[in-house]
Chains A and B, each alone.
Chain A
């Protein structure tokens, strides 16, 4: 942020608000409606990343099955608001239920496993993610719960006060397509999530999470109930995932198990690692970058066609490869992320110091 704006926070804030409000119009006019849709997904992934950040960034618990909670939220929305069971409950009933269901599963999964050390937790959550996906894929028999690999469609769009976001809206000579309407809905949820996450970070619970992340034994000695505090982080993150899942289902109108693979979990994890674990602006940046870059990479195909005459490497094949490279590079060269939180930066610096000290004492022993 330039210095001039830093001194006038209100002006900067107003500028940002105006920018966010007109962004879908600018993007829609400049790049076409497809990119407004991309923008919607940026917001959706921001919501997911903020949720996972509570688990991984704040409390330091590695969750590799986060997408399972997203899936639960999405499927619950589809069950309660689609012709599948003939239920059409309004979104303000279904979304909180989805968040609660995901939170409940978070507690059920977390209660037995959270006493294990971190990397075991990672594998158990990964296993849980796969279990949920396999069940979604197969529960179309003997009675049709999830419609199996075909997925569920014709899911109700969100409608606010009789106004369906699934249809274009005509206001004052302007036509707002559904993607733009959902943009505002998602934006509202993201702003709410940012507010909640930031307040959480500075709260008593947030400090307990930080203590837990730094040193579990010391935290327990200070009187923190480590198990409950971990469970709380896990459940909180899970319910953000469930909420995002419900929004996803309503926005797409269609869900299938394919949307909830392990790679989605890893993608969200990449977002917070890349952006800077534990730091909300970093997490938002990570989510935006990792959603936009693959979209931009689509132009690589056109580029190859223009320069080489045909597509040599399918850009969608390159996408995951580049993610893998980025993950490794980030960990090797900038382990705290692009926008690290102040605390974390200090932590990583301190870590080097400790290692050097240990090395030095080893050399002393040699001599």
Chain B
């Protein structure tokens, strides 16, 4: 029971990070029907930029409290990722809006490779560790241990999701985004500046991704130029699981995937009699992805039919 509760907690924490990244995929897909392959890399850049700022601040002003330093890192990482996503969209995706479908997907892969290798040149091949400057208090919860950091991650993620939901459902920009998702041409005729809405979508997703990047590096205690790839794939799987193009779906899918992964890694050894171990953790996301696409391609909450040529 203790293991179950503990894995559930870990899964929920991880899942809320997946959900944040998944939001970026799902928003872009909802509007452009494009898998923004580079989104995982944007998350990675967010973590790396924040870590650089944190390292710098700790060197310049060692007396600052850890929370302030990390906050400063996040506040620099957000605009950096927003600018990055804006540039990517403008250079690599916008010129291809009327091209055959494979073209933007291939540029997306290209951008992903470029970002990964630039990050490797800038920050090196080694793991960058997240300094232990955050409070490490732990609380007992239903037989499981939960750290303050984990609580903050979950609460912050929920707040961000609620904020995004309000933005999409209640504001002018949100209405323009929904209109563009339904029909780009008609939205344009109604006076929506579609190009600006698409840019805004990318930038919003990137801002959330930056925060998620910092969260994931704080949670694991390290960051790496390659971390965006797996994270992006899993977040994309989460978005598909929930129903791509659907905000609530991305949130639900993220949380579910996190829990499935944590429980799966915790129990796979017992279930298979020791044949498979927790080193198969990364496999679950893909099995979930393939399973969902086969059994229910529109995802848990999606209405969109996947089989559209």
Contacts and interface: CB of A to CB of B under 8 A. Distances in A.
Nearest to B33: A119
Contact of A324 (B34, B113, B275, B307): B113
15 contacts: A112-B290, A112-B293, A113-B290, A117-B307, A123-B240, A124-B289, A138-B280, A317-B121, A320-B116, A323-B110, A324-B111, A325-B114, A331-B110, A335-B100, A362-B185
A113 B292 CA distance: 10
Contacts of A321: 113-114, 117-118, 121
B279 interface: yes
Given A119-B34, A123-B289, A325-B110, 18 more contacts: A113-B293, A113-B294, A118-B101, A120-B240, A120-B306, A124-B290, A128-B290, A317-B120, A320-B113, A324-B113, A328-B92, A328-B110, A331-B96, A332-B92, A332-B96, A352-B98, A355-B98, A362-B188
Contacts of B105: 62, 119, 122
Contact of B286 (A131, A331, A358, A362): A131
B99 interface: yes
Contacts of B283: 130-131, 134-135
B106 interface: yes
Contacts of B106: 269, 273, 327, 331
A212 B107 CA distance: 23
Interface string A289-331: 0000000000000000000000001000110110111111001
Interface string A86-119: 0000000000000000000000000011011111
A119 B99 CA distance: 14
B113 A120 contact: no
Contact of B103 (A135, A317, A331, A362): A331
Given A117-B309, A126-B233, A127-B233, A138 B277 contact: yes
B152 interface: no
**Dominant SS among interface residues on chain A:** helix
Interface string A347-362: 1100110110010001
B149 interface: no
A196 to B, nearest CB: 24
B102 interface: yes
Nearest to B115: A324
A264 interface: no
In this complex, the interface size class of chain A, counting residues with CB under 8 Å from chain B, is 35 or more
A11 interface: no
Nearest to B121: A317
A217 interface: yes
B301 interface: no
A262 B286 CA distance: 14
A123 B120 CA distance: 24
B114 A324 contact: yes
A2 interface: no
B308 interface: yes
Nearest to B294: A112
A120 B99 contact: no
Contacts of A122: 35, 105
Given A119-B35, A123-B289, A328-B107, A134 B117 contact: no
Q: Which of A215, A331, A351 has the most CB of B within 10 A?
A: A331
Nearest to B29: A119
Contacts of A128: 286, 290
B241 to A, nearest CB: 12
Nearest to B281: A134
Nearest to A329: B110
Scoring B101, B106, B120, B274 by chain A CB atoms within 10 A of each residue's CB, the highest score goes to B106
A118 B116 CA distance: 25
B284 to A, nearest CB: 10
B112 interface: yes
Contacts of B286: 127-128, 130-131
B287 interface: yes
Interface in A263-286: 263, 266, 269, 273
Contacts of A358: 98
Q: Which of A120, A135, A348, A358 has the most CB of B within 10 A?
A: A120
B3 to A, nearest CB: 22
A365 interface: yes
Contacts of B91: 328
A365 B190 CA distance: 12
Interface in A179-201: none
B109 to A, nearest CB: 6
B280 A134 contact: yes
B191 to A, nearest CB: 11
B18 interface: no
A269 to B, nearest CB: 8
A124 B293 contact: yes
Q: Nearest 9 CB-CB pairs, A to B?
A: A327-B110, A324-B113, A127-B286, A324-B114, A355-B98, A321-B117, A328-B110, A112-B294, A331-B107
A91 B13 CA distance: 51
A217 B309 CA distance: 8
The residue among B35, B98, B112, B188 with the most chain A CB atoms within 10 A of its own CB is B98
B236 to A, nearest CB: 6
A117 B290 CA distance: 14
Interface string B33-45: 1110000000000
Contacts of A117: 306-309
A124 B289 CA distance: 7
A56 to B, nearest CB: 8
